[in-house]
Amino acid sequence: MRPNHVLLFIAACLLCLGLLCILLPHRVEVGTRTLRWPTLGEVFGNQESGVRSQDSEIFLDSLSDADSPESMDTLVAERAKPEIPRVSVDSVTDSRVFLGAFYASLAESGQKVVRVVHYGDSQIEEDRMSQQIREALQNRYGGQGCGLMPLAQTIPNKTVKQQLRMNNRPVQPAQGPRRYLVYGPKHDQRSDGRYGVMGQVAMMNDSLVRGSEELTAICTPLIPTAQYRRWRVFADTSIHYSFAGDTVRLSGHGAVYGLSQESETGVIVDNIPMRGCLGLVFTKMDRGQLERFYREQNVKLIIMQFGGNAIPFNENPGTISGIVKGLRQQVQYIRECAPDASILFIGPSDMARQVDGEWESYPMIPYMDRLLRKMALEEQIAYFSLFRWMGGSGSMLRWREIGLAGEDGVHFYRGGARKAGNAVGEWILEGITE
Amino acid sequence: MTTFWQNILGFNADSPLLFTQFYFWAFFALVFTLFALIMEAIPDRLGNRKLHLRNIYLLFVSWFFYYKTSGLFLLILAFVTLSDWLIAQRIKANNGRQMAKVWLCLSVAIDLGLLAYFKYAYFFTNMINNLLGTGFRVFDIFAYIGNGFAQAGRFSVDTIVLPVGISFYMFQVISYTADVFRGRIQPVKNILDFGFYVSFFPQLVAGPIVRAEEFIPQLYKPYHLSRRYFGLAIFWILNGLAKKIIMSDYLAVNLIDRVFDNPLLFSGFENLFALFAYSLQVYADFSGYTDIAIGVALLMGFYLPMNFNSPYKSQSPQEFWRRWHMSLGRWLKTYLYIPLGGNRKIGFGTYFWISLIALVSAALTGWWVWILVPTGALIVGIIVWDKVLQRSCLTGEAVEKRKLLYSNLNSFITQVLGGLWHGASWNFIIWGGINGIGMIVEKIWREMGWHLRFAAMTLLTTGLCLADYWTQLPVWRLFAVWAAIVWIGTAVRYVYFLRQGADTRWTKALSSAWAVLQTFTFITFTRLFFRSSSNLDPATANKVAWETAKNMVNQIGGAWNNQIIPAFVWEYRWVVAMFVLGMVIHWVPTNWKRRYRLAFSAMPLWLMVGAVCLAILVIYQFVSAEMQPFIYFQF
């Protein structure tokens, strides 16, 4: 073969591929799958290539900028697509006015525990984000300890390491007591709704633990900072049993709703992750149990961080709107269970997916974010828009690039979670007027 | 159209020219057009001058390609080209004298110094900080100079960016000066020809590492490409694209990245599957890229060495390293393993590296006593044993034992340093170390009789099962299950041996399959330490990599959940299918592969054009495929 023969071959290939770009349809549906082929315009870069990002600037420093009416309007104008209904929101009200009950309760933190319960999806697993919120509040208002944790820690926590021992022999969490989860699959749910405040319960009588056997959970703080220095008093104990208020070893039968490591005064922040959960499960939880816990444990702030799990599976505004309606019911239910507590809703972060080989943000996030904000204002609860704080559509891609979020375009890395948690903590504290 | 030309000609750090992008192929079509013009328009009677012109043209194209990929780091490439060309001349001029060695040392010091600066600055800084409790930070002296001796300016002095491909071309220039020193090749007279060898664009950023003696003679040969080789070149390009995009990127985006990012979100089975899929991904990614490089170079009449030879068909870790990244393996053998002594001797170099590796390990872990005392004892033991063997070296058995000892020590050091070449972090050193240990264990295993093998395996399995029982730690559970599986295989073969079963075709095939599976599993396990996030700073990446490995082991050994396996297989059916297909193709007998390659290369040209279009059409479906949605199976 001479070079000009090779050149002719290359030219023939390019020509044929070019013709295919002209002749073949851009998309063909074959059953459930879509076959795609680029247009010449896409090949030659007339359309945006690489990362599709409507708004990649990140304004990490201040949420107030993002909260301003101007930025809200711009956001709507830029992001709203024709098929997505426009949502008008009162953008003047600073939703932190709805945290008044919580702010007022902080004055009592020197005498007793003021409790914050942080519910969320996988974005807060391993004590992510909650840890920074806890640090921010405890630094100013005192308090030690990580708060509630399940009896058997199936998902390791970065703040407390837990070891289970049965009859003085270590066991894996999966070998421990039978768990029931309000957010789990059907076979892991129970009909009476008695999951406790964490939405999960460990049944000692169903487990391998029988009659004379004894279960010990050793919880060791993993953060040797000054903040948590006093935790070490718990390091060698077995179980700190929150509603018994004592350290116990467990034996026999019973339902264990959680363990807790905490001080007797100050702010305690509980991290309660519910993997894969849309946030529509609270109404399945026993009202009496929730009411009692929130009242007795002096819960003054309930943080709900949900919405992310609705995004990847729904492109229909009607479905998103339905999910937000469901979330509104959950908020109402929680408020009925804890009438004295403030509620803060944290919306989903920006999330990204790959389409036609290019990464882009999910189109429904801005819509859901605005619906949630509207719902929050109408229900008179505080709202923190994680999506807009990150920088809006496309920001997850920037976060990935700078090592704040994972390759999946959905979850934060530890650094990203730290940044987001700090931002929420500061935002809460900034709302306090002396 | 403006974007098109900007993407081809302009420098953008965020979009380098990659083989998998259309812009690379547009660039290559333009380059080849001019290349063909030079080769066709200039008469052959001009001989060497025509070849020089071709080489100069390809040199400038390669430099432009590197500029597109790495911007001003082109200057580093130009600098090492100049320094090594000059030094090689001095080595030749001082042939046989002590000064030649001095010049060689200078060349290696410059090349490794630059490599250490750009690649290992963070690693060494962290090491010093851990050791002395200091808080040193890296400072980019080149950025400082670039800013006109100022800290602030166009370049940031706080970060050191790794130039693309530096590990590859540094090894090439070292091989050149070393080969000139050894008299294997003559120094290249024309610096532009030498520059072409160093920076030939198809293999510049990801290999294969071409040794001087393999490539430099090709600079002076006229263009020759047979019809069959042309067909093979096209095959390698398509094969590489399919591997990279279908096998590697698809698996990564839809499963592997998610699991490695958050192992705790997934069950033990999902983690294990992702780990095996990662083994395939790494292979498909790297070998796909080098396949394309080989094909592109071949179209221009240059032959690059084979870099991968179905490595997961290996029946032992040693064989794996003869099939995996072969150009690096050959380089390490020629320029590290053999100079260390190979299986002939151990000397200062061997002891130096063992001591250094132990010191660095002790410094970083803080386990001074636990590491240095056994290492000291090991060195003394080796010296004593070596002396004992020396005295009894009249027997053939003693000679063989010495060879085995030398070979094991030197190959272990080679593996650890090879690990460090892959990345400047602990996990790569651990990865190299585990591979080294695997090779040694396999060699010792091969020397053992069946009674001993069975006894050793029984003892090991019992020990691991007891460790699992008493500690309930996932890591012991993982090892215990693995050992139990190996024990079953060993027991079956042991019983067959005791019954004096004959070696039939079937038993041989079964035995080979068992060895392949064991080797693949072992290599996959080492991959736990092979992955490092590129978007994190090196210190954090190191920490994250270690934590990822730990979490994956914890999940595989502790959070196994058989119930979710059918649901996982169904929901991820395309990912599972791609993995199975990839492994099946990988394990297709070599003869079959050769046949279909030759059949492809013999196709009529018009049919080959059609095959190219069809292949691109299929590959594009994977580029544009919708992502697998995120599904949680474990709560």
Q: Are residues B153 and B74 in the same domain?
A: yes
Quick check: A229 pLDDT over 60? no
Answer yes or no: do A410 and B613 touch at CB < 8 A: no
Of the candidates B52, B224, B325, B422, the residue annotated as catalytic is: B422
Give the residue numbers spanning the domain of B147. Answer: 54-223
Domain boundary among B416, B447, B478: B447
- Residues in B closer than 8 angstroms to A403, CB to CB, are 533, 535-537, 540
For residues B496 and B245, give the distance between their C-alpha atoms in angstroms, rounded to a whole number: 45
Amino acid at A189: Q
Residue A298 gets the label, from left (phi > 0), alpha (psi -120 to 50) or beta, of: left
Q: To the nearest whole angstrom, how far is the Cα of B556 from the nearest Cα of chain A? A: 12
What gap in Å lies between CA A161 and CA A153, rounded to an integer? 9
Residue B610 or residue A253, greater confidence: B610
Check if B586 is active-site.
no
What does the pLDDT read at residue A257?
84
Would you say residue A47 has pLDDT above 50? no
Backbone angles phi, psi at A268, to 5 degrees: -115, 130
What's the complex ipTM?
A: 0.84
Crossing angle of the two packed helices B227-242 and A3-23, in degrees rounded to 10? 40
Tell me the H-state helices in B342-425.
348-365, 368-391, 396-422
Last residue of a domain, one of B197, B223, B249: B223
Q: How far is the CA of B202 from the CAs of A393, B52, B292, B338, in angstroms? A: 37, 19, 8, 29
Q: What does DSSP assign to residue A238?
A: S
Position A69 scores a pLDDT of 36
Alpha-carbon distances, residue A99 vs A62, A292, A300, A376 (angstroms): 19, 21, 9, 12
Determine, yes or no, domain membership for B28. Answer: no
Q: Are residues B264 and B300 in the same domain?
A: yes
Residues B120 and B246 in one domain: no
Of B262, B613, B617, the CB nearest to A406: B262
Q: Is A360 helix (H, G, I), strand (E, B) or coil?
A: strand
For A375-413, how does the pLDDT look when each residue is reduced to its tens digit (9 = 90+)?
A: 999 999 999 999 999 999 999 999 988 889 988 888 998
pLDDT of residue B12: 67
Q: How far apart are CA B582 and CA B36, in angstroms?
A: 37
- pLDDT range class, residue A74, cuts 50, 70, 90: very low
The pLDDT > 90 percentage for chain A reads 41
Nearest residue of A to residue B543, measured between CA atoms: A414
CB of A356 within 8 Å of a chain B CB? The answer is: yes
Average pLDDT over residues A101-120: 93
Chain B nearest-CA distance from A99, in A, is 32
Alpha-carbon gap: A365 to the closest alpha carbon of chain B (Å): 16
Q: Flag whether B468 is in a domain.
A: no
Smallest CA–CA distance, residue B455 to chain A, in Å, is 29
| Chain A residues whose beta carbon lies within 8 Å of the beta carbon of residue B605 | 9, 12
What architecture is domain A51-143+265-434?
A: 3-Layer(aba) Sandwich (3.40)
Q: Helix A365-379 to helix A69-79 angle, to the nearest 10 degrees? A: 140
Whole-number Å distance between alpha carbons of B478 and B484:
10
- Which residues neighbour A12 within 8 Å (Cβ) at sequence distance 6 or greater? B605, B609
Closest residue by Cα to residue A392 from A355, A346, A361, A354: A361
For residues B275 and B379, membership in a common domain is answered with no
Write out residues in chain B with pLDDT < 50, as ranges.
none
What 3-state DSSP class applies to B251?
helix
Is the minimum CB–CB distance between A122 and chain B shorter than 8 Å? Answer: yes
- Domain total of chain B: 3
Same domain, B173 and B210: yes
CB contact under 8 A, A6 and B561: no
Residue located via tokens 């590491």:
B371
- Asked, for residue B459, whether it belongs to a domain, the answer is no
B341 and B273 part of one domain: no
Higher model confidence: residue A227 or residue B494?
Answer: B494
Both B285 and B347 in a single domain?
Answer: no
Length of chain A: 434
By the 10 Å C-beta count (0-12 exposed, 13-18 middle, 19+ buried), A88 is classed as exposed
Mean pLDDT of chain A: 79
Cβ of A415 and B540 within 8 Å? yes
Is the domain of B187 the same as that of B119?
yes
User: Which sequence spans correspond to the domains of chain A?
Assistant: 3-43, 51-143+265-434, 144-262
Angle between helices B22-41 and B48-70 in degrees, nearest 10: 160
- Above pLDDT 70, what percent of chain A? 77
Evaluate whether B462 touches B486 at the Cβ level (below 8 Å).
no
Euclidean distance between CA atoms A275 and A284, whole angstroms: 16
pLDDT at B502: 75
Angle value at C-alpha B182, between B176 and B183, nearest 5 degrees: 90
B211 shares a domain with B239? no
Are B613 and A13 within 8 A, CB to CB? yes
Interface test with A, best of B3, B248, B535 (most A CBs within 10 A): B535
> Within this chain, do residues B552 and B631 fall inside the same structural domain, yes or no?
yes
Residue A3: list chain B partners with CB under 8 A.
32, 35-36, 39-40, 223
Which among B223, B250, B281 is the end of a domain? B223
Of A262, A230, A236, A264, the closest CA to residue A249 belongs to A236
Residue B178 lies in a domain: yes
